């Protein structure tokens, strides 16, 4: 495995050079021995459909257990059980609007991952960097367990477990575990663990900080050991179910689904699960005794257990919903952990917004009223008063506002409207409102129904063990 060893050293050195100003050493967080032992054990696979550009280039890389959909180029990188989902990349001839600019797209956009290590990472959407419209670039970057890189060109960064960089161009940054940023652009910054930061020009700035004691209980990561805490225990306890799914190339749907619904064959479905019309269930989603109403979606690394989603609900990448009942058109943000108890139900009313990286882990029955926004850490009704408010009240905020560990500056109405617009965009993109009489192809729930999966394998032994042959796959 000499090639793998050399590749790991190459990547770590390049990331460390980028992070020298922050005096951050990636070596302390990458267990290369543990990683090497796993890189030859799993096949990689890519999807082929009539709707997505077929262009894959794999160069001097290891791709163990990873999935690719849409135009991608992977160069001198290690991707371990990561999902590279390029079904929303920009197309040649389209126009990208940025502030007062309308910028033409001159070529089909491509995801390019260079000199990077991605561990159980989700890469999705398209680049929101106006300087790089045709390339969604991840370079000289290490991302750890269950990170989301969403629409974010990333160079010279370390992303801690369960962190998310969303619609943000970042350079030479360190994101601590369970941090979430959506700030347009960030450079040479170290973001503390458990920081939730959403900022848009001078319009609004939302900031929440988890306490160290609470965060350590849910996710803790400070060495080459695997991350620990409730979030890791939760996914590790269900790992075997996914291993069983990946043993088979083809399978019949474990439950009946409507014809305009997509249930990915690399998802787990258990118990008495019901799936409605225009629903999208992505790869590595986990459903157990779940009820998904019309237009709902369950994205990568999401878990819905003993819960009912009324309809048009969004479960963003990595979110988990357990023992809960959700009304209509509810947004549950990235990597949120929403857990009721069988004897103490959690009910969330229509039109609610659960901010990304929110932890609702109740110790008593709780009802979140309709049209509410919540954030932070909530375990009872008293916490809800300090970590939530009605959309109407939030929309009236002007200038500066503080509530417990949350600080907001700017226009609350613009902040809420931006969330509502994004929710509508996601629902349309996922085909939640699809009607066959409209005579169009629909969204992801329709286009992702019949994906052909093709597997690729690494060298099984010798100096190249774990490395995949260089290859180019085109129409």
Residue ranges and CATH numbers for the domains of the chain are: 2-225+448-473 (2.160.10.10), 238-398+426-433 (2.160.10.10)
Ordered mean pLDDT values, 10 residues apiece, the chain (475 residues): 92 98 94 81 93 95 96 98 97 91 95 98 96 96 98 98 98 98 98 98 97 97 88 96 82 88 95 97 97 98 98 98 98 98 95 98 97 98 98 97 97 98 97 86 91 93 95 96
Note the pLDDT of residue 36: 80
Token pair of 55 as six digits: 């262009």
Q: Do the Cβ atoms of 411 and 398 come closer than 8 Å?
A: yes
Is 470 exposed, middle or buried (CB count within 10 Å of its CB: 0-12, 13-18, 19+)? exposed
How far apart, in Å, do the first and last CA atoms of the chain sit? 32
| Residue found by looking up tokens 């543990």 in the block | 34
Render pLDDT for 317-347 as a digit per residue (tens, 0 to 9).
999 999 999 999 999 999 999 999 999 989 9
* Integer-rounded Cα radius of gyration of the chain: 21
Note the pLDDT of residue 249: 67
Tell whether pTM > 0.95: yes
Q: Residue 47's beta-bridge partner residues? A: 453
Note the pLDDT of residue 4: 94
Alpha carbon distances (Å) from 191 to 147, 158, 220, 439:
14, 10, 15, 47
């Amino acid at each position: 495995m000499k090639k793998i060893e050399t590749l790991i050293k190459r990547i770590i050195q390049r990331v460390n050079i980028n992070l020298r100003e922050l005096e951050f050493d990636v070596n302390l967080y990458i267990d290369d021995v543990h990683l090497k032992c796993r890189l030859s054990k799993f096949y990689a696979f890519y999807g082929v459909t009539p709707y997505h550009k077929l262009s894959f280039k794999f160069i001097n890389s290891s791709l163990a257990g990873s999935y690719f959909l849409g135009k991608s180029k992977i160069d001198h990188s290690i991707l371990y059980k990561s999902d590279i989902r390029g079904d929303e990349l920009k197309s040649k001839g389209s126009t990208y609007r940025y502030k007062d600019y309308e910028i033409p797209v001159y070529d089909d956009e491509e995801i390019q991952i260079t000199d990077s290590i991605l561990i159980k990472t989700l890469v999705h959407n398209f680049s929101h960097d106006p300087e790089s419209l045709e390339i969604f670039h991840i370079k000289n970057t290490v991302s750890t367990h269950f990170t989301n890189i969403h629409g974010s060109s990333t160079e010279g960064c370390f992303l801690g477990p369960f962190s998310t960089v969303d619609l943000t161009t970042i350079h030479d940054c360190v994101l601590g575990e369970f941090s979430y940023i959506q700030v347009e652009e960030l450079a040479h910054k170290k973001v503390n663990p458990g920081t939730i930061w959403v900022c848009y020009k001078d319009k609004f700035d939302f900031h929440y900080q988890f306490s160290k004691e609470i965060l350590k209980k849910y996710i803790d990561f400070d060495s080459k050991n695997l991350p620990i805490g409730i979030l890791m225990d939760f996914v590790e306890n269900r790992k075997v179910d996914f291993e069983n799914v990946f043993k088979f190339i083809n399978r019949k749907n474990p439950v009946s689904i409507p014809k305009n619904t997509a249930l990915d064959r690399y998802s787990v479905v258990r118990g008495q699960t019901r799936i409605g019309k225009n629903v999208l269930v992505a790869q590595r989603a986990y459903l157990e005794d779940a009820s998904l109403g019309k237009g709902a979606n369950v994205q990568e690394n999401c878990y819905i257990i003993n819960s009912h989603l009324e309809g048009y609900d969004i479960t963003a990448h990595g979110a988990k919903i357990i023992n809960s009942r959700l009304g209509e058109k509810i947004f549950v943000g990235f990597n949120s952990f929403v857990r009721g108890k069988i004897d103490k139900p959690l009910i969330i009313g229509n039109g609610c917004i659960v901010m990304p990286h929110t932890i609702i882990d109740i110790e008593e029955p709780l009802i979140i009223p309709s049209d509410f926004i919540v954030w932070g850490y909530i375990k009872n009704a008293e916490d809800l008063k300090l970590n939530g408010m009605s959309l109407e009240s939030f929309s009236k905020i002007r200038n500066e506002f503080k509530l417990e560990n949350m600080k907001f500056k700017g226009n609350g109405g613009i902040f809420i409207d931006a969330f509502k617009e994004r929710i509508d965009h996601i629902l349309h993109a996922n085909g939640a409102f699809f009607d066959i009489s409209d005579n169009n192809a629909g969204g992801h729930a329709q286009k992702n129904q019949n994906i052909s999966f093709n597997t690729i394998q690494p060298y099984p032994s010798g100096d190249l063990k774990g490395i995949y042959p260089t290859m180019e796959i085109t129409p």
